[in-house]
Every structure is written in C-alpha cells, then in structure tokens.
A and B are shown apart, each in its own frame.
Chain A
Amino acid sequence: MTRSRALAAELHKTLTLPAAWAGVTVALLGSLLITVLNAYAVHADPSAVAFTAPLEVAFAAMPLGTVGATVIGVTVFSSEFTGERQITATLAAVPDRVLVLTAKAIVVVLLVAVTAVVTMPLTIGVARLMIGESVSIPEAVTRCLGAALYWILSGLIALAVTVFTRSGVVPMVVLIVNGSLVSFSLLLSKVSALGFWLPDMAGRRLFGDVPTVEGGLGVVPGALVMAGWTALLLVAAAAVFHRRDTMG
C-alpha cells in the first residue's frame, strides 16, 4: 500500500512538472523535426546514396530521444532541490529514501517508455510517407525496442548521476553534450578499448544497423553492459541518498 502510494505521489509530481514535459517534447517534436528535414532532403534528391530507407532516416533522429530521456531523468530529481526545496516535503511524506528513489526510477521508465511508444512509430511513419518506400515491420519493431531500451537506460543513468550532484545543471550539460555532440567514450575508444565498455558506447548497437564506429561489443553483450552500468549507478545513488543529510 505504502509503496503504491509512494509511486502514485511521484507519478503525480512528475506529470505536473513542466521540465519533465520539456523532456518529452524534445524527444517527440525534436525527433519528428529532424526526421522531416532528413526525409525532405531524401525526397528532394532520390539519388542520394546515404539515408535513403525510411527506417534509416527515422533512426538518424533517435539521439534526440536520448536527450529527452536525459532531461526527464535529471529533472525528476533536481526539481526536488530548487527554490523552496521540495525534498523536505517529499521525505516528510515518504521517509524511506530507497522507496523514494525506486518510485522515481519507475516513473522515469514509464514516462520514457510512453514517449518512445508515441515518438518512434510516428517518426517512422512520417519518413515512410515522405520517402514512399516500404518498411519491414519486424525489423522496425526490433530496432524500436532496442532504441527504447537505450532511451530508458539513459534516463535512469541521468537520474542516478543527479542524485550525486543534486543540482541538475552539471549532469544535464555533460550528459546532453555526451549524448548528442561529442561522446567522451567515443573519443576514449579511439585511444583505448576501455571506451567501448562505457555505457553509451556499449549500448549504441541497440539502435540497430546505424553507421557507427567499428569494433566494440555486439548488441546483446553491449545492452547487458549498459544495463549493468545503470544498475550499478542506481545502487550507488541509493546508498548515497540513504546516508546523506538532506541539507549536508
């Protein structure tokens, strides 16, 4: 009873938080906009070599979903520490901090998953309509499941990292830059194979057959490594959150 109520409270809190909806909007409208632009380019120049298939066009926009998931993961926790410090009210209502963090993690999974369910078919559908080529449904479903998993794990990693920092600024900047502009683990992978074992590089094949650097882990081992990182970071975050003074 207590658990389901804690989850209901966290769900209500997140669904009424404008910053969380900003994350959903980035994932949904951002992906859609990039898909439309790319599909238009393909449509205008059918002889273009790269990105001709609708699935490839749609999947080129998927990093925007990672950014959206990151925004959701960060703000679900950082919003507790801005202004009047809602965390005081949160912990007065639910003093079990592991329960609070678990409820927040479940909310991140649900919100990112629903965002993926809406965004992915929509972008693929738009790409298909504009380009006119057919899409293999089984391939699309498999790749969408992989990409959704990548988004969810990215959201959870963002949540865990924000528990350490409490402020949302640093994780937001670092994770968004890492997820969209320059991947630190990609750079590291150029000099050391260790880079392939960091979460975002390990999981990158979840998007399917997108152009990516050679080497590194395959889909399943990569997904397991990324999920392992996520679990490890969440457990460490729970331990820190459990021990730390609210103000300390």
Chain B
Amino acid sequence: MLSIDGLTKTYRERTVLSEVSFRAEPGRVTGFLGPNAAGKSSTLRILLGLDRPTAGVALVGGRPYRSLPEPLRVVGSMLDGSGAHRSRTARGHLRWLARSHGISGRRVTEVLERAGLADTGRLRAGRFSLGMRQRLGLAAALLGEPDVLVLDEPANGLDPEGVRWLRCLVRDHAAAGGTVLLSSHAMSEVAAVADDLVVIAAGRVMAAGPLARVTAGFATLEDAFFALTGAGSGIGGVR
C-alpha cells in the first residue's frame, strides 16, 4: 500500500504541494488525475525518494522508499520516460538495472518481450520513438516483479495498441493483488482503468475515493474533473 500524508513542497516562495494526502490500496488501480503542473509528478518524485518534502511523509508499505533494501522488487516506477542513456540499447539499459538487484538475464529478456521491445536489437535509446521509450520505462518498472507500480503519464506517446496493452497490464497487476498508482491528465485513459481516483489541482487534493463516488452527480468523469479542478472555464484552463 502507498500512503501519502500531509505532503507539502515549497521551492523558495512557490508552493507546489500543500497538505496532499491519499492512499493507493492493493488490488486496485488508483488514478492520479490533474491538469499539467498540478503537482502529480512532484508527489510521485517525493514518493520515490527523488525529492524531499518540505513537510509530510510518503510511505511504501509503511516505509520510506529510501529505506527499502531492494526497491525494484517492491516498487516498479516510471517517471520521465525511459530513463535510458541515449547510447544504450533497451537490453543494455535493463541489464545494468538488473545487475543492481542480482536479477537474471532471463528476466531481462522476459520483460523486453512483454513490452514488445524484443526486436529492437542494437537500436540505441536515443533513436527510440516516444512510444518505445514509454515501453522501455514500463519494462524497467516490471523488471523486479514488484507488487507496486507507480507510473507517471504512462500512456504518453503510446499508439492505440500500446494503450490497450498498458490497460491490460495494470488491470492484470491489480487483479493479481498488486497496487497501481497511475498519474494522467487524460481522463478517458483513467476512466478506463481506475478503481479509485485522486483528483489534484494547484497542489491540493480536490477529491479522492472510488471512481463512482468521485464522479457521482456528474454525467461523465470529464464533467466531474472540470467541476472539481475549476479548470477549463476559459483561457488558462487545462493545457
């Protein structure tokens, strides 16, 4: 389980997160929905120990990410695309990650196949399409067979087949008892996979709970989103 409690982050004068709290439960897909610059990535970066919060805590199964002895076996994450150096092949990127956890070469081949990257051979990451980068990031997230998946805008750049693959992947993961936290600004994508929803805007959680409850009283998730975030009412709304 992922628990975020009272997370606040300020950069000098600017507050990017204020008192953000929510949970992501096992066996469920939690959609983390908000317009660009709402604080989704900042929250996930703190959860993964990349940035420090000004106040509050973010825990993975009750522990800070930085204290996990073998983090890739607990949490599979994807932020900022693939994270692969442009000179490396898909396999080359996964191999050093595997080394860090004593994961076998066979598992590297498995996740490459699962992500549809088995045929990329000697092609270097610098020449990958956006969709291939996302697939490589997802392959890396799956590498350690983790219970928890934390994915930041995973559908960006994926073709329709890729989006469908991603949807099956996260649904299967939750069905097997795993925890999935998936951020997005694309409502249709979230509506198609999420059990629970956390809506964030301007660094604050506007609503959180099961999808049906958050969208109750609205015709669509889109209507609920605009009503909750106050965005889209004119110029300067959702970008």
| Minimum CB distance partner of B85 in chain A | A86
Interface residue from B52, B72, B85 paired with A83 (Cβ < 8 Å) = B85
B79, CB-defined interface residue at 8 Å: yes
B100, CB-defined interface residue at 8 Å: yes
Q: Are the C-beta atoms of A96 and B66 separated by less than 8 Å? A: yes
Interface residue from A6, A9, A89 paired with B84 (Cβ < 8 Å) = A89
| Minimum CB distance partner of A97 in chain B | B66
| Minimum CB distance partner of A94 in chain B | B100
Interface size on B, residues (CB 8 A): 40
| Minimum CB distance partner of A11 in chain B | B99
Given contacts A79-B85, A88-B80, contact A5 B100 (CB under 8 A): yes
Given contacts A92-B71, A95-B65, A95-B68, contact A9 B99 (CB under 8 A): yes
Interface string of A77-117 (1 = CB under 8 A from B): 00100111111111111111000000000000000000000
| Minimum CB distance partner of A246 in chain B | B50
Interface string of B29-50 (1 = CB under 8 A from A): 0000000000000000100111
Distance in angstroms between the alpha carbons of A6 and B52 in the assembled complex:
22
Q: Are the C-beta atoms of A245 and B77 separated by less than 8 Å? A: no
Q: Are the C-beta atoms of A248 and B84 separated by less than 8 Å? A: no
Q: Are the C-beta atoms of B72 and A92 separated by less than 8 Å? A: yes
A95 proximity list for chain B (CB < 8 A): 49, 65-68, 71
Which of A13-21, A27-35, A42-50 forms part of the interface with chain B? A13-21
Q: Are the C-beta atoms of A84 and B100 separated by less than 8 Å? A: no
Q: What band does the interface of chain A fall in when counting residues whose beta carbon is under 8 Å from B?
A: 20 to 34
B185, CB-defined interface residue at 8 Å: no
Interface string of A214-243 (1 = CB under 8 A from B): 000000000000000000000000000001
Interface residues of B (CB under 8 A from A): 11, 45, 48-52, 65-72, 75, 77, 79-88, 92-93, 95-97, 99-102, 125-126, 133, 140
Interface residues of A (CB under 8 A from B): 1-2, 5-6, 8-9, 12-13, 16-19, 79, 82-96, 243, 245-248
Further contacts, 13 of them, CB under 8 A, given A5-B101, A95-B66, A245-B50: A5-B100, A9-B99, A12-B96, A83-B85, A83-B125, A84-B83, A84-B133, A85-B80, A86-B84, A91-B50, A93-B100, A243-B52, A245-B51
